[in-house]
Amino acid sequence: MRIAVNGLGRIGRLVVRAITLLQDSRLELVAANSLAESDIIAHLLNYDSTHGKLTNRFQYNNNYLFNSTSKISLFRQSKPETIPWEKENIDIVIECSGKFNSKNAAIAHLTAGAKKVIISAPCENADATIIVGVNDHLLNSNHNIISVGSCTTNAVALIVKILNDKFGIQCGHITTVHAYTSDQNILDNSHKDFRRARSCFTSIIPTKTGVSTSLKEVIPELANCLDGSSVRVPTSNVSLIDFTFYSHKTLTVQSINNEIKESAKLANMKDILDIAPAPLVSVDFNHSKFSAIFDPYETKVVGKNLGRIVAWYDNEWGFVHRIIDIVKIVELCCRDER
């Protein structure tokens, strides 16, 4: 698969890093598009404050980003339809700019010659929203605009599906305690969300999350049963979900913990669900590839049917690896149907 990345912000650069480090022959990263200056792109790929330095460092020259194992054509176009994807024979564009998160907008990549688009965000009217370990079996070669949801949706949906399949969820509320993101302000400044307008370093900031909307798409039987909210905190990476739910079946702390621990052993959960080995803190999960790391030390049950669980997730590195997993699944679907 010939792959391109549109948008080289936090997620886009980490996609480039991850594919480069994987050295998987199925994933040929050949092009990228970004409005940022080429030299700063190379520098930020090589040196990351959260995820460390690359040893196989990128350089930029003659419209290419390259290191000893990769050569990536670099374009600087503001409109997807003007990027020469057809000339580059692109199979999949990973859309990471944050600007083309609807089918109507993302289809411009197909107009430019790409065969598929995978969007690193919730997407309005996508052909499919796919969460690895939850509904990835539904992906087929007819899906051309594919959303991978959000980092939070990937963490939450995994846990919610396990609990719903075993205990039956009547209703629930998800709180995400989330690291700050580039959408927030370092110092107080204008923003459409009054609270996100405030400095991300000095406050705990309540804000909105679209996780309940995304969950309706991937676990439709729980539509209108779940809601969610988010609290942004002054840490640079790693977030957690705090999920309180009311079940149909009787709960105990042991039954919840055992069910999730057994699920983590399943073959289809390998590399996406892990169990915290000790009472740890957020920094201990930095650079984790898992969608969610369940924390059995935080499970609570009140009465017979009210449960509460906590799971951690690296909202950058873990999410990036789910994007790449979807690329691999698309490649397999297309190969099987040739």
* Amino acid, single-letter form, for residue 258: N
Known binder of ligand: residue 151? yes
For residue 332, give both structure tokens: 């397999």
For residue 12, give both structure tokens: 């886009």
Q: Report how far residue 329's alpha carbon sits from residue 26's, in angstroms, rounded to the nearest whole number.
A: 11
Q: Sign of the CA dihedral 30, 34, 37, 40?
A: negative
Angle between helices 151-167 and 317-336 (to 10 degrees): 70
Known binder of ligand: residue 315? yes
Known binder of ligand: residue 181? yes
Known binder of ligand: residue 209? yes
Look-up of token digits 């087929």: 140
Just list the catalytic residues.
Answer: 151
**CA geometry: angle at 232 spanning 121 and 299, to 5°?**
90
Known binder of ligand: residue 230? no
For residue 243, give both structure tokens: 């999920």
What does the H/E/C string look like for 68-137? CCCEEEEECCCCHHHCCCCCCCCCEEEECCCCCCEHHHHHHHHHCCCCEEEECCCCECCCEECCCCCCHH
Supply the DSSP string of 210-277, one letter for each residue.
Answer: -HHHHHHHHSGGGTTTEEEEEEEES-SS-EEEEEEEEESS---HHHHHHHHHHHHTSGGGTTTEEE-S
Known binder of ligand: residue 120? yes
Question: What residues are designated binding site for D-glyceraldehyde 3-phosphate?
Answer: 150-152, 181, 209-210, 232
Residues annotated in the binding site, as ranges? 10-11, 120, 150-152, 181, 209-210, 232, 315
Binding residues for NAD(+): 10-11, 120, 315
